[in-house]
Structure 1
Amino acid sequence: MGKCLGIDFGLKRTGISISDETNKIAFPLKTVKSDSLINEIHNINKTEAIEKIIIGKPYDLKGNLLNIETNIISLVKLLKNKFPNILVNRIDERFTSKIAKQTILDSGIGKMKRRSKENIDKISATLILQSYLKKNNYD
């Protein structure tokens, strides 16, 4: 069984998370510049044998898709083309950034690291992936 990647896509930065070998637990991996995301996934796949990529679906509080969804749809098409053996799935990502910020605050880490948007992005990706794993009975 291959691992899963979680993606919290942004126009500038993208958070990436990865599952353990049993696909039960998601871990933050890294935050990358969005324009290098495909290369990063390629490099990760060389060593981790990725089976699925889970990408957040950005809704507002009223259930409307956010404008960035257009970019994410293009990303999904590109991923399916570049990595035909990897399944790409989507999951609601509402509140992940807010929960990530609160998680960082609750962790007690220093003020400078709390302000790091890179940390928020990769923790958001972890929340997206963990939600998917739980919803799909990987836990």
Structure 2
Amino acid sequence: MRIMAFDYGTKRIGIAVTDPLQIIATALTTVHPEEIWSFIDNYLQGETVATFVVGKPLQMDGSDSESAQHVLGFVRKLKKTYPQIPVAEIDERFTSKMASAAIAQSGKKKSKRQEKGLVDTVSATIILQSYMQKKEL
């Protein structure tokens, strides 16, 4: 059973998944918000997902950020559409900065590093790794 993580944005949703043994988090893809539900439906036809993890956008003081309302709507619909799959929310502060830094360190050309979709999928992977580390504690 895999764990699937989302870095929700109003323009793109970065998606990452674990391997079936839930050991390794891997960037999967980026999907437009209008396509997310058909993407999840198609994915679930071939894979079993144990948990959905959604990055929760917070301000530095821990309060909800402006984009939190969009994420809240997404989480609500995830829970309603897939009631059998638990949804975990995890603090996503700094994931985009961490993703950009990781991409820069990977040696990718600057044009590739600035691709927003790549940042979103790497952010989703970082969110998933954070969740997996917290789960182990």
State whether TM-score is above 0.5: yes
2:104 counterpart of 1:105: yes
Q: Secondary structure at the match of 1:136?
A: helix
Letter in 1 for 2:111: M
Letter in 2 for 1:59: L
Q: Secondary structure at the match of 1:101?
A: helix
The aligned residue for residue 61 of structure 1 is 60
Identical amino acids, percent of aligned pairs: 37
Letter in 2 for 1:34: P
TM-score by length of 2: 0.95
2:119 counterpart of 1:124: no
The aligned residue for residue 38 of structure 2 is 39
Letter in 1 for 2:95: T
Name stretches of at least 5 consecutive residues in structure 2 with no aligned partner.
Answer: none
Contact 1:96 1:127 in 2 (8 A): yes
Letter in 2 for 1:57: K
Name stretches of at least 5 consecutive residues in structure 1 with no aligned partner.
Answer: none
The aligned residue for residue 25 of structure 2 is 26
Contact 1:24 1:134 in 2 (8 A): no
Measure how far apart 1:116 and its partner are: 0.4
Measure how far apart 1:115 and its partner are: 0.9
* Distance in 1 between residues matched to 2:46 and 2:133, nearest whole Å: 25
The aligned residue for residue 82 of structure 2 is 83
After superposition, what is the alpha-carbon deviation per residue over 1:43-82, rounded to whole angstroms, capped at 9, x for unaligned? 1111121111000111122222111111111111111111
* Distance in 1 between residues matched to 2:39 and 2:64, nearest whole Å: 26
Contact 1:29 1:122 in 2 (8 A): yes
TM-score by length of 1: 0.94
* Distance in 2 between residues matched to 1:35 and 1:68, nearest whole Å: 17
